[in-house]
Amino acid sequence: MTTAVDFDGVIHTYDRGWADGTIYGDWKPDALAGLLTLLERDAVFIHTTRNPHQVARWIERTSGHNIDCTTRLPRTWYGRRKPFWNTRGLLLVTDRKLAATVYIDDRAHRFEDWASTMVALGEPAEHWPAARRGLCDAESVGGDRCDRPTDHRQHSFEANDPVRAAIRKARGDDWAPQTPIRFGPCGEDPDGDEQP
């Protein structure tokens, strides 16, 4: 197995951002122990936009020379660079993103589908209807959409609505499940029957 590890924000604290390109910070908590553990069992490389030689020297120096680093990609018998790293016990530091089984990065988003990714990146959910699969999709009078699963008893836009709170108080309800105010598909049982 090959593990790729980002440098800034994962190994290095990156407190002041890029600054002038100098590595000024310290190890993130447990980063050295984690890296040593990974090196014992997997092929590990660090990918960075910084100068790989500078990063390799920093890792060797600050780890007390417990980690051996290289910046040289291995070459095949015909002289071309391999597009992967599979050497255990030796840490490759590179500015290339090589093939790996897993990437450890502080600025990653776990991709599952484009609709949920675009919504996570700030795009309106109305433009990506597939991201709303499994949600109630009821709409309030004010135009708010319910963002709860279809099997709930109270729409998300009802939770802090003062008018609905006054109606429930007048009815003597302390919470919506006893006598919910129903709108949209949430007022139906999974059997398709109307709730009492």
23-37 pLDDT per residue, tens: 888 999 999 999 999
Specify the DSSP element, H or E, that contains 91: strand 91-94
CB proximity list for 75: less than 8 A, separation 6 or greater? 81, 82
Tell me: do 99 and 139 sit in the same domain.
Answer: no
Structure tokens at 115: 């609709």
The residue among 90 and 141 whose pLDDT is bigger is 90
What pLDDT, on a 0 to 100 scale, did the predictor assign at position 159?
Answer: 60
The CA distance from 59 to 3, in Å, is 17
The CA distance from 143 to 127, in Å, is 16
Asked if the structure places residue 21 within a domain, the reply is: yes
20-50: string of b/e by CB count within 10 Å (b at 16+)?
Answer: eeebebebbeebbebbeebbeebbbbbbbeb
Whole-model pTM? 0.61
Count of the separate structural domains present in the chain: 2
The residue among 186 and 57 whose pLDDT is bigger is 57
Mean pLDDT of the chain: 77
How many CB atoms are located within 10 Å of the residue 55 CB?
A: 25
Does the structure show a pLDDT above 90 at 39? yes
The CA distance from 176 to 153, in Å, is 7
Beta bridge partners of 27: 12
The residue among 156 and 82 whose pLDDT is bigger is 82
Tell me: do 141 and 179 sit in the same domain.
Answer: yes
The CA distance from 51 to 34, in Å, is 23
Q: What is the mean pLDDT of residues 71-98?
A: 82
Asked if the structure places residue 123 within a domain, the reply is: no
Domain ranges, residue 96? 2-104
Does the structure show a pLDDT above 90 at 150? no
Task: Find, among 98, 91, 30, 97, the residue nearest to 58 by Cα.
Answer: 91
pLDDT band at 109 (very low <50, low <70, confident <90, very high): confident
Tell me: do 9 and 84 sit in the same domain.
Answer: yes
Tell me: do 93 and 174 sit in the same domain.
Answer: no
The DSSP code for 145 is: B
